[in-house]
Amino acid sequence: MSEQTINQSQVTSPPPNPRIESWKNFFTKLRKNKAAMVGGLLILFFLLVAIIGPFLTPYQPNTPDYANKLASPSADHWFGTDHHGRDIFTRIIHGMSLTLYVGVVSVLIGAVIGVLLGITSGYYGKRVDAFIMRCMDVLLAFPGILLALAIVSVLGPSLNNVIIAVGIFSIPVFARIVRGSTLAVRKLEYIDAVKALGASDVRIIFRHILPNVTSPLIVQATLSIATSILTASGLSFLGLGAQPPTPEWGAMLSDGRNFMWDAPHVAFFPGIAIVIVVLAFNIFGDGLRDALDPKMKN
């Protein structure tokens, strides 16, 4: 009787869900990549600091204190003070949310527009494909920082204009990635079957093609955030991004270059903050790429 029950339970047990097994395999490979885990933990830490950090700092980021200007790092001012006597540690903490905001929103803009253009180009092909891809080639002909510099110069210096500029130069990368994946997916037999059942193009694109091109999108978005942060900091360093007294890291680095010999900490700490954040997103993006690569399952 017991053997019968065991056999029946084995027969009636449901087969494993392929989607769940795929996610388990992904997280298993991601956990094995120590560099990616370090990058992911750093990103979580940065997000936590950006959310609750500004409420815990003992100083105001934009309030000057000329009695303590250019003070060296100490117990009162962990990272020292700048030429206006403002606490650098406080300004870096407050600037964390600005940095992540610029990186995430600009990439989101580029990804949404790039995905729509790329999937349209790959699905319809012919003249639509040729027109969209030639437009992307024009944008790709300009170096990213140069294109962003030109756009901000036209729109005017501000943080929102930097986001728009960085988002625009991110569009071609996403468009080309999605187009390539769409060209491969649209030739599969199940797409032809869905078409034969009378599904509309919109349903096929968003229900059946888009979910199959998300893996390279996730990887590219993570890596693009690092590039966007670096570009936005560079534009702010040139005076085209966030304007004083906003505690943006690139602008803080620009202010600190005037005191490199007398007070190097003014430039050092904003610079090292940019390096650590960009490095975290890059190594986490590399780990995601390895974990999502089907060729590396074994």
Burial of 108 (0-12, 13-18, 19+ CB in 10 A): middle
**pLDDT recorded at residue 156:** 85
Q: At what angle do helices 159-185 and 214-237 cross, to 10 degrees?
A: 160
Q: Which of 246, 216, 103 is nearest to 162 (CA)?
A: 103
Which sign does the torsion angle of CA 153, 154, 156, 160 carry? Answer: negative
Check whether 298 has a pLDDT greater than 50: no
- The single-letter code of the amino acid at 210 is L
Q: What is the pLDDT of residues 217-259, one digit of tens each?
A: 888 899 899 999 999 998 888 888 888 888 889 999 988 888 8
| pLDDT for position 110 | 93
Token duo for residue 261: 């010999």
CA 94, 98, 101, 104 torsion-angle sign:
negative
Q: What is the CATH number of domain 45-51+80-296?
A: 1.10.3720.10
**Stated pTM of the model:** 0.85
Q: What is the amino acid identity at position 79?
A: F
Task: Determine the pLDDT at residue 270.
Answer: 93
Report d(CA 152, CA 135) in Å as an integer: 20
pLDDT tens-digit map of 90-120? 999 999 999 999 999 999 999 999 999 999 9
